Amino acid sequence: MNQKINSETERYSGAYGGITLNSFSERKASKEAEFFLPYLSPQMELLDCGCGPGTITVDLAKIVAPGEVIGIDIEDSQFIIGQKKARAENVTNIKFKLANIYQLPFADNSFDAVFAHAVIYHLKYPHQALKELYSLLKPGGVLGIRDAAHDSNIFTPSIPILKTAWDILSRVVEVNGGNPFFGKYQRKILQEVGFVNVKASASFDYVGTPEATKKAGEFWADLILQNQVIDVVIKQNLATKEEVEAMSIAFLEWGKHPDAFFARARCEAVGWKE
């Protein structure tokens, strides 16, 4: 039986299965963690927070081997993806663990590096979570985070219903306690928590080929129909169920359009513990 941590303070705005899981399983350290890789080296002990299916985690484990890597998440049903990838690629210095980012089951000063991709902006209490990660780092340890900036969306064709749909998905994150515009504030918050020599950067997630836009359209069409999204949309009077269904169809149609393109900035920050 899958274990789950029931948190009264957090509600994830995404999904854990189906198309979302398939999409997240395609993530790689060479892209999603590119900004962080220059600071990693063999023998490091590394924690990957909110690791999801763990494909990035496996890549990180290869880089810091023989150092141990632990991937944690509040939903353990996804771990099977990373576990299979690790076995297939003969990666043995990796573990996955069910854990809550606010109360991690590790001693202070345990890790040389901590990574969190697309995690912090979903949280109600980012300062609290980052303080927990700070405490787990050894002196001189390094943290890398990457988060979305939803106000950076670039897309074409310009279809009004899709602008509304993306605005609604951002609003769902806010209602659930997150900040879809958090990325731009990373440097400020890391410094407030106590990290030093904080460096900020940015890169884009984008789709611009027929295959990629089709997949992206299917991803958003599925996401906006997820119960945890529709429940918030209806309760907050953001749209009717019929309007949401129309948005889902519009995403699918957009994904098939020959001119379709979408890009969104991902802000990145690296900081050190003194």
Position 2 scores a pLDDT of 39
| pTM (global) more than 0.85 | yes
Structural domains in the chain (count): 1
Residue 12 in any domain: the answer is no
State which H helix or E strand residue 63 sits in.
Answer: helix 55-64
Q: Is residue 59 part of a domain?
A: yes
Bridge-based pairing of strands 111-117 and 94-98 is unpaired
User: Residue 28 domain-assigned?
Assistant: yes
Query: Does 20 score more than 70 pLDDT?
Result: no
Which pLDDT tens digit goes with each residue over 147-179?
Answer: 999 999 999 998 999 999 999 999 999 999 999
* 230 found inside a domain: yes
Q: Smallest Cα–Cα separation from 157: which of 250, 261, 77?
A: 261
Taking alpha carbons only, the member of 86, 85, 88, 53 closest to residue 72 is 53
User: What mean pLDDT is predicted for residues 64-75?
Assistant: 96
Residue 83 lies in a domain: yes
Phi, psi of 4 (to 5 degrees): -140, 145
Is 70 exceeded by the pLDDT of residue 16?
Answer: no
Domain residues for 203? 18-272
Look at residue 171 and tell me if it is in a domain: yes
**Is residue 147 domain-resident?**
yes
Q: CA dist 270 to 121, 146, 202, 204, Å?
A: 16, 9, 11, 17
* Domain-located, residue 262: yes
**Nearby residues of 150 by Cβ (< 8 Å), 6 or more positions away:** 166, 169, 170, 173, 180, 181, 264
CATH number for 242: 3.40.50.150
